Homo-oligomer: A and B are copies of this chain.
Amino acid sequence: MERIIDSQLEDLKKLMLEMGGQVEKALQTATEGLLKKENKLLQEVHKFEMHINDLQIKVDNACLQVLAKQGPVAKDLRLILSIIKINTDLERMGDQCVNIAHLGRELLERGFTSSMQDIETMSTSVSKMVKGSLDSFVKMDLVAAQKILEMDDQVDFMKNKVYKDSTELMKQQPQNIQTLMDFILIARNLERLGDHATNIAEDVIFAFSGKDVRHGLND
């Protein structure tokens, strides 16, 4: 027999995944706008963020309702707590996509010719992490979630590379300091998106296994 809470949890998951889809689109649009140097795309990112903000409040309210009316325990409760946390991460990810779009527009206004190869590599990895973390949630796939945690090292490495290369270049090309600074800040925003995807993967592991893998603990 299906319990009332099961259909409510299904609705809740759908709402959260709609939000995740909007974050993926925001990141994709910001990155595409940046790499193709298309201001129009960068301007669109704000719309996704507004939608994400609306969904954040809906998800929180829906969680509150299920908690208050169903008094869930054990794995149902862990699932809801994970959704509450993932919700916060997704909202901040929306903010970071807006930051990237904002920095991208500054770059376009100023005009630049520097290579964005590293930013492109980084955003490809981060997109995979974001998509992968949401997929691991849908499929309750602990192995996939674990893989996201491992991918984060590569993104951190790339962020450090952008930082090191850009500060070196600043010394040789003081006229490009602003542009190189924007690259560093874009890389930092991408790295934070990766951190949030890592948080989501940790929440997936907690929701579906009960294991708390934060701070390097295994149980």
Contacts and interface: CB of A to CB of B under 8 A. Distances in A.
A44 interface: no
Interface stretch (A114-122, A123-131, A134-142, A170-178): A170-178
A14 interface: no
Contact of A174 (B56, B64, B85, B174): B174
Contact of A88 (B85, B174, B212): B85
A28 interface: no
Chain A residues touching B, majority SS: helix
A57 interface: yes
A53 B215 contact: yes
Interface in A53-90: 53, 56-57, 60, 63-64, 67-68, 71, 73-74, 77-78, 81, 84-85, 88
A181 interface: yes
A43 interface: no
A103 to B, nearest CB: 12
A47 interface: no
Nearest to A163: B181
Contact of A77 (B53, B56, B67): B67
A35 B72 CA distance: 50
A217 B88 CA distance: 17
Interface string A194-219: 00000000000000000010110100
A11 to B, nearest CB: 19
A39 interface: no
Contacts of A174: 170-171, 174
Contact of A170 (B60, B81, B177): B177
Interface string A159-189: 0000000010011001001100100100010
A64 B78 contact: yes
Given A56-B214, A84-B84, 4 more contacts: A57-B215, A84-B85, A170-B177, A171-B174
